[in-house]
């Protein structure tokens, strides 16, 4: 879990990174809760997500938003934090340019930033939103949501009622084939106190299912591309054979008679 400093738009950003040796390992970026309410990259839910992704072979990055911990800068009410997240994703993609899939995850306030980043970065294939502030922040910018993902909240969350998250999962416009899945962790509050293990199980199960589907889709796409290449080769061979069998073009005309 190397400590590192990333150059962000508002100064240096303190981060932690888990690296997988495989060049095409999937990548995930984790965003922490509200900086002005004690949220940091060491939040227990962030830590749970970090290790849930790492356990499944992801290269994972978490970092402190500007003004938190050793990160430079000051709170910017959202735009600056979004710029921080974009810079962190840039760094992660620079380290892992051949990653086969890219995910983003957020906790509470971090979900609002995560989903804004999702709309700006088409390479993000999936998301995990834990305790999204569906009743406190406007998520209407998801019009439509471009990637499938998971919304998770606690049954006893007094900050964000389950009904608000359920409504978000149903009413958010999505692209064709995209699905928002909503799960509730029994007995958990907004901070998942004493329930992080259960949260990890819910998120892990979802990731396992999505990664299996991803690999199946990847193999189907590869097979379709192989078939297209075989068809191109057949077409080239057919054109070559037709060119070889075509009669030679006539190069001369009728002989002219001799002058008398």
Q: What is the pLDDT of residue 222?
A: 73
Fold of 3-220: Rossmann fold (3.40.50)
Q: Among candidates 121, 55, 24, which has minimal Cα distance to 82? A: 121
For residue 243, pLDDT beyond 90: no
**Rounded CA gap, 163 and 182, in Å?**
11
- Sorted by where each begins, the domain ranges of the chain are 3-220
Better pLDDT: 201 or 221: 201
**What tens digit of pLDDT does each residue of 76-97 get?**
999 999 999 999 999 999 999 9
Residue 248 binned pLDDT confidence (cut-offs 50, 70, 90):
low
**What tens digit of pLDDT does each residue of 118-168 get?**
999 999 999 999 999 999 999 999 999 999 999 999 999 999 999 999 999
**Rounded CA gap, 89 and 102, in Å?**
9
**Rounded CA gap, 24 and 45, in Å?**
26
CA distances from 118 to 5, 20, 111, 243, 247 (A): 23, 23, 10, 51, 60
- Beta carbons within 8 Å of 230's beta carbon, 6+ residues apart: none
pLDDT averaged over the chain? 92
Tokens 């709309």 belong to 119
Better pLDDT: 149 or 240: 149
**What tens digit of pLDDT does each residue of 2-20 get?**
789 999 999 999 999 999 9
Structure tokens at 33: 């809760």
């Amino acid at each position: 879990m190397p400590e590192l400093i990333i150059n962000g738009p508002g100064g240096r950003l303190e981060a932690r990174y888990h690296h997988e040796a495989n060049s095409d390992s999937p990548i995930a970026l984790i965003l922490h809760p509200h900086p002005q309410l004690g949220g940091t990259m060491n939040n227990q839910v962030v830590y749970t997500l970090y290790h849930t992704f790492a356990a499944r072979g992801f290269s994972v990055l978490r970092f402190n938003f500007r003004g938190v911990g050793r990160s430079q800068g000051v709170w910017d009410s959202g735009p600056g934090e979004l710029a921080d997240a974009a810079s962190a994703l840039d760094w992660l993609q620079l380290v892992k340019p051949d990653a086969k899939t890219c995910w983003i995850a957020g906790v509470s306030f971090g979900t609002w930033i995560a989903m804004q980043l999702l709309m700006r970065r088409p390479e993000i294939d999936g998301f995990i939103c834990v305790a999204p502030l569906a009743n406190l922040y406007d998520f209407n910018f998801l019009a439509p949501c471009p990637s499938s993902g998971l919304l998770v909240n606690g049954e006893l969350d007094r900050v964000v009622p389950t009904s608000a998250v359920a409504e978000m999962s149903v009413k958010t416009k999505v692209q064709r084939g995209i699905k928002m899945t909503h799960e509730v962790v029994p007995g958990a509050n907004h901070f998942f106190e004493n329930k992080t293990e259960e949260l990890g199980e819910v998120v892990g199960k979802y990731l396992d299912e999505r990664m299996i589907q991803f690999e199946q889709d990847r193999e189907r796409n590869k097979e379709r591309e192989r078939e297209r290449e075989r068809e191109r080769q057949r077409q080239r061979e057919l054109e070559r054979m037709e060119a070889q069998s075509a009669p030679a073009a006539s190069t001369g005309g009728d002989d002219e008679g001799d002058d008398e």
